[in-house]
Amino acid sequence: MALDNYPSIPGKVNGTGARLANNATNFAANNALFLKVFSGEILTAFDESNVAKDLIMTRTISSGKSAQFPVTGKAEAKYHIPGEDLLNTTSASGRDYLSQIAHNEKVINIDDMLVASTLIPRIDEVKNHYDLRSIYGKELGKALAKRLDIQILKTMFAAGLTTTANYTGGPTGTQLLSADTMTAGGLVEALFECARSLDEKEVPSDGRYAILTPLQYYKLLTADSTAINKDTSSGSADAAKGSIVEVAGIKLYKSPHLEGVQVGALNGDDGNVANSPFANTAVNNDDAGYNGDLTGLAPTQSGADVGNVGFVAGHASAVGCVKLLDLATESEYLIERQSTLFVAKYAMGLGVLRPESSVVVNTTSSAAS
């Protein structure tokens, strides 16, 4: 009998009805403890494996299928001529003192529930001398973390590639071309260019980030560079621990998942969602959810096609997340299968909020050394 057609089974951990075992009290207590430990393993692995989730704006809703994020433009300041009415748009001087502040809203929908599950036969648990549930729990947590991390990274790239402003005359995303992102000197220069771009678009300096591949990150740490040496001498970088905090006021993070959003990394399952962050970009892949084909993203200054995306930098205001169901776990013992079904799940959605708060850096070098 298929699991997805299974009726509610009396005696399940969170259910009611007759218990499955003779020692009913012990069975319920033991399974509650198992689920608590199992959930802890999943949550720990999820937090440890996810880099990008704390670098975006998140809103939690208790019900519904979407949430709105307000987006506003800027006001203007004008010198006032004594005696003129601020509310009179046809004053003698012809000045309109009232600011017409542009406004819009960004709607982010809730995607289908994302699940990671496994079935552990009771006989396997008995035979093994190690904690099978703990190991499996960590793997489920890592699977969900990786999927969310890649989706957030894709949305960050989509923000930087967005060519449509939130309101008339508003700023769009930024794409830096022909940057050398495979040498320490090139990376430092690219990071300062990212800072300059964010400054010019009046993006707040607090909360800026850049997500690099591990290769790029450690190239910076081992570099003989003035910018890096200043961080090292001030205590914000530690070669012994393999960490470097920031360059050009941009906090640095490393993620092995960054390569999952690069050239042609199309995941068919990522198209089965309610959001399309690449819809307003030149690499729109028929609104295929979080899939954006980044192959040959843009020409370099010499006119050659770029085959890779170097890294992404930005601010927390670039990407929004709507969370309906936070990471949750459940388990159920299936007596007819003599196995326990474990499920980890969440329901949320991602979208571009402020494209001007993201910078996509193209690379001219694919060298791995």
* DSSP 3-state of 218: helix
Confidence of residue 360 (pLDDT cuts 50, 70, 90): very high
Ramachandran region of residue 64, left (φ > 0), alpha (ψ -120 to 50) or beta?
left
* DSSP 3-state of 80: coil
Across 21-56, b (16+ Cβ under 10 Å) vs e yields eeeeeebbeebeebbeebbebbbebbeebbbbeebb
Nearest to 334 by CA among 119, 141, 180, 59: 119
* DSSP 3-state of 46: helix
Question: What is the pTM for the complete model shown?
Answer: 0.77
Judged by average pLDDT, the poorest of 118-132, 138-152, 192-206, 303-317 is 303-317
Amino acid sitting at position 328: A
Q: What is the reported pLDDT for 198?
A: 96
CA 166 – CA 145 distance, rounded (Å): 30
Confidence of residue 330 (pLDDT cuts 50, 70, 90): confident
Confidence of residue 23 (pLDDT cuts 50, 70, 90): very low
Domain boundaries, the chain: 3-57+107-145+329-348, 153-324+350-363
Judged by average pLDDT, the poorest of 6-10, 122-126, 140-144 is 6-10
User: Is 306's pLDDT higher than 80?
Assistant: no
Q: What is the mean pLDDT of residues 102-109?
A: 84
Confidence of residue 1 (pLDDT cuts 50, 70, 90): very low
Q: What is the reported pLDDT for 89?
A: 66
